[in-house]
Amino acid sequence: MSASTPQPGRLAHAPVLLRGGRWWLDGGAGSVPACDPAFTAVLDDFALSMAAADQAVANLLIRQDEASSVDPGGRR
């Protein structure tokens, strides 16, 4: 099984983004690459955790929608 990798883009509510496989610190004056391996490893882990949480919520919403489409008699 291969390791998951974070998806490119901005990390939710944070001034960092993943672009070209590299983390960037993004500010009003521009962006600079994040070079510290320990820091970027934490960003990777956090981004993967956020993606897993987003997927779990999406799955719950799907299950909730499916449950609400069934009437009390068990028929659709």
**Residue 56: what pLDDT?**
95
Query: Quick one: which H or E segment has residue 26?
Result: strand 22-27
Residue 75 binned pLDDT confidence (cut-offs 50, 70, 90): low
Q: pLDDT tens digits for 11-37?
A: 888 899 999 999 999 998 999 999 999
Q: What is the dihedral sign for C-alpha 61, 64, 66, 68?
A: negative
> How does pLDDT run across 32-57, given as a tens digit for each residue?
999 999 999 999 999 999 999 999 99
Average pLDDT over residues 58-75: 78
pTM: 0.72
CA 26 to chain centroid, in Å, comes to: 18
